Amino acid sequence: MKEYVINVDILLGQVRAALERGDPRSAAALIEALRPADQAGVFDDLNPEEQDELLPRLKVEDSADILEELEDEDAAELAGRMRADELAEILDKMEPDEAADLLGDIKPEKATRVLDAMQDANEVKPLLKHHDETAGGLMTSAAIVLKTGMSAKTAISYLRKLTPDEEDIYYLFVTDRENKLKGVVNLRSLVTNSPTAKIADIMHEDVVSVRVDADQEEAANLMKRYDLLALPVVDVNDHLLGVITYDDSFDILEDEATEDIYRLGGISEETPSDLPLGQAVKKRLPWLVVNLFMALISAAVLSLFESTIAQMAALAAFFPIVAGVSGSAGTQTLTVTVRSIALGEIEPKNALKVVLNQFGLSLINGLIVGVIITLIALIWKGSGLLGVIAGVATLVNILSTAVTGVIIPLAIHKFKSDPALASPIIVTALTDALGYLAYLGLASAAIAWLI
Amino acid sequence: MKEYVINVDILLGQVRAALERGDPRSAAALIEALRPADQAGVFDDLNPEEQDELLPRLKVEDSADILEELEDEDAAELAGRMRADELAEILDKMEPDEAADLLGDIKPEKATRVLDAMQDANEVKPLLKHHDETAGGLMTSAAIVLKTGMSAKTAISYLRKLTPDEEDIYYLFVTDRENKLKGVVNLRSLVTNSPTAKIADIMHEDVVSVRVDADQEEAANLMKRYDLLALPVVDVNDHLLGVITYDDSFDILEDEATEDIYRLGGISEETPSDLPLGQAVKKRLPWLVVNLFMALISAAVLSLFESTIAQMAALAAFFPIVAGVSGSAGTQTLTVTVRSIALGEIEPKNALKVVLNQFGLSLINGLIVGVIITLIALIWKGSGLLGVIAGVATLVNILSTAVTGVIIPLAIHKFKSDPALASPIIVTALTDALGYLAYLGLASAAIAWLI
């Protein structure tokens, strides 16, 4: 049995060594011995010149696998450097949905020339017209479709005849004469039923499908909810247009989670750590500038209390504590809310219940943290009053996050925007400003006893 | 064709109405008409009394589906209220891995009594001894295993005989006489090959497997990397012990993403928004307290510069700007690093390259943000010098996050801890403190020209 974990670095070294000593054939053989995901892993780490030297030596099937497994941008870059006829030959061996995605990522004129040179262009063309992030953009053409009138035996010999190269078949969808989706047969019941049984009798009629214009996330969620390996895509009249397979839904769910993580971290989109500088600046700078202007609210509050600070500069020592701890509490509440919304666990209609729940939690946490702050002030600065003021300000501020941390993401969600995107900035800015207001407001009122 | 999106609220109302008018049989019929995931969805929203009234009226198979689909804690709570013999009957109809998980979640004495009452206890018992978060804890017993010497025809009739109730079969694993894993046959090639072909000849020998004691994340990543529907689990001598199916890897990858999101948000574990108060406090308070003590570093820096602040209280207005913008920049870098580590995109060995990359990015972002801050100070406070000081302090601070935001998570990862857990606290605290130090340090040095 082959070891399943390959050491990409060692292999990369061997491939490079073969290329350097002018032996691209050996380099190709090393790559061809790997599984597709590993082939792409090694190939991706080569530099463009090495890739261009190696590619013509690989079997067309292997090149197709590599183009499927590479990240979209890397595949498009590589394809952009290839001749139209070479590319067409490889695309013919790719899954139609992957071929369509790649064609959508290269220059339109080139895509047209490649399509003209392809043999299976008819399988790919219908997939090109759907938006990338819809069910239609995700589906592949349904290669094997059974008809209600077939017998199990006919269906099996039909399968034998069609048997495509490497493609796995999970479910066999059944349509009527007008190509309307009628049911689904799984391969096992085809095998284990009597050969004379009619497909119409052994199929399940209760088949979950998705409309071609539905959002890709809806498709992925359906597949996850019902543990489906394949989801048929239909038009408004239930005509079967294609199939989404489980590996796509896998990728989407992971991408959506990554997107949420990035947005909560203040980055508009996925930015791999090796993104070109210009693009990375474009994705991160706007957030910093927005944050900067939101911080002006707090700056204005501090300016308002300049004379109080001038009277007692020691007040400043507690700024990071009041603002920092409340900021953390706000981020916690926000994170729970945003993830719960993404997983479909909370809705605007039960907002009040969630706020009350978070309020109770914030009250307990705020009281305990407030007491600790008071003690710190007493020990460090010898002032119980200063401590009480900082502690109460923190408590008030933490309580406020129970409201803002729930209401703001829910409101953004209600208006069909992504709550992970803008909530952190707004909640943080409000929490900060309110913290300074509460702390310095109380300190101003008590300034005579403080100094 | 049945509508695939059900309205849980409407159905819940109907089920409740039936229960209230003393007609649990109709209530059960409403639930039985749904798909398992929807059955669990409606059932979960009923209160305990309603659940207990309904459960005995459901078919055992449906009860088994519901227990499989419910969240672990909800299933354990429900199981805890059932009689041992009732529960045993339902567990017999569940997938062995799900049954084992549930038994691990209820009281040990009760689990023993339930196991004694079960018919399929032998399938479940071997699964109980593996740790929850390992490949062994995830696998289910491999119900159907082919032998190398079988013919395709024998294998098919063997399948016909064994055909289990509802379980999907994706791959058929092949072992030799000693139960050592030798290969894999997919159902399609069994069907499409000649009936007399030997299994040893049509199987793929290149089968990916995972050791029983491997981490569950490793198993899920293998399945994702190689697009596997099922992953065989073996012991150190390659004996086949069980199989992990794709739906498990789905759940793990989503759970791991959720865990990262929560940890980056400063919460130690997944905390649904409706978690009981005591548990929620336990999961969130420790982080606030740690944050509080980390904020003392900044507090100490501010104390150090008390006399500077006393001389010019207007300096305070720029605290939230310097600290806030740098904090955002640090969170951005941190988020990219933590997610890249989770997705296996960066390793300690290429840390320097990533730091340099982030440094370039931070330099551009820091310069632009710094200039904006200078302009704000000039317009708002009429002081170009104050602006330059705040701007330079922010630039220095943003540059520092290019180092801390990469090195700290990578170091934590290197020491086998989760970088999402502690990095945000450390990076934020350092960024904050350094920001105050740079800003107030420069201001002190230039105080004669400022006031």
In the numeric block, the tokens 């996850």 are attached to A224
> Which residues of B fall within a CB distance of 8 Å from A317?
299-300, 302-303, 306
Is the pLDDT reported for residue B319 higher than 70?
yes
Summarize pLDDT for A360-376 with one digit per residue, the tens: 999 999 999 999 999 99
Q: Are B39 and B47 in contact (CB under 8 A)?
A: no
Give the number of other CB atoms < 10 A from CB of residue A318. 27
What domains, with CATH codes, occur in chain A? 8-138 (1.25.60.10), 145-256 (3.10.580.10), 277-450 (1.10.357.20)
Spatial distance between the Cα atoms of A183 and A172, rounded to a whole number of angstroms: 9
Chain A residue with minimum CA distance to B153:
A191
> What are residue A211's DSSP bridge partners?
A234
- A345 and B273 in contact by Cβ < 8 A? yes
Task: Please list, in sequence order, all residues whose beta carbon lies within 8 angstroms of the beta carbon of residue B252, skipping any fewer than 6 positions away.
Answer: B138, B216, B217, B219, B220
Q: Is the ipTM of this complex over 0.90?
A: no
Q: What is the SS3 assignment for A31?
A: helix
Is the pLDDT reported for residue A283 higher than 60?
yes
Q: What is the DSSP letter of B57?
A: G
Q: What does the pLDDT average to over B6-10?
A: 73
Confidence of residue A3 (pLDDT cuts 50, 70, 90): very low
- B335 and A376 in contact by Cβ < 8 A? no
Chain B residue with minimum CA distance to A220:
B250
In the numeric block, the tokens 């052994």 are attached to A202
Which is more confidently placed, A103 or A157?
Answer: A103
Check residue B167 and give its pLDDT: 54
- B331 and A222 in contact by Cβ < 8 A? no
Is the pLDDT reported for residue A353 higher than 50?
yes
Residue pairs spanning A and B at CB distance below 8 A: 327
Check residue B297 and give its pLDDT: 92
Spatial distance between the Cα atoms of A36 and A15, rounded to a whole number of angstroms: 16
Confidence of residue B318 (pLDDT cuts 50, 70, 90): very high
> Which residues of B fall within a CB distance of 8 Å from A364?
277, 281, 285
Check residue A274 and give its pLDDT: 65
Please, what's the b/e burial string for A153-178 (b: 16 or more CB within 10 A of its CB; e: otherwise)? Answer: ebbbebbeeebeeeebbbbbbbbeee
Confidence of residue A166 (pLDDT cuts 50, 70, 90): very low
> Which residues of B fall within a CB distance of 8 Å from A246?
229, 246
> Which residues of B fall within a CB distance of 8 Å from A326?
none
Mutate to test the interface with A, among B34, B293, B339, B367 (most CBs of A within 10 A): B339
- Low-confidence winner among A387-396, B376-385, B413-422 (lowest mean pLDDT): B413-422
Q: What is the SS3 assignment for B120?
A: coil
Going by C-alpha positions, the residue among A84, A136, A134 that lies closest to residue A106 is A84
> Which residues of A fall within a CB distance of 8 Å from B156?
191
Query: With DSSP H G I counted as helix, E B as strand and the rest as coil, what are the percentages for chain B, rounded to 5?
Result: 70, 10, 25
Q: Of B299, B323, B357, which is closest to A321 when you measure between CB atoms?
A: B299
- A227 and B207 in contact by Cβ < 8 A? no
pLDDT > 70: percent of chain B:
94
Helices (H), B106-167: 108-117, 121-128, 135-138, 152-162
Which is more confidently placed, B252 or A162?
Answer: B252
Spatial distance between the Cα atoms of B437 and A232, rounded to a whole number of angstroms: 60
Q: What does the pLDDT average to over B258-267?
A: 77
Which is more confidently placed, A2 or B323?
Answer: B323
Confidence of residue B166 (pLDDT cuts 50, 70, 90): very low
Task: Please list, in sequence order, all residues whose beta carbon lies within 8 angstroms of the beta carbon of residue A93, skipping any fewer than 6 positions away.
Answer: A60, A61, A63, A64, A165
> What are residue B185's DSSP bridge partners?
B172
Check residue B2 and give its pLDDT: 38
Spatial distance between the Cα atoms of B133 and A323, rounded to a whole number of angstroms: 38
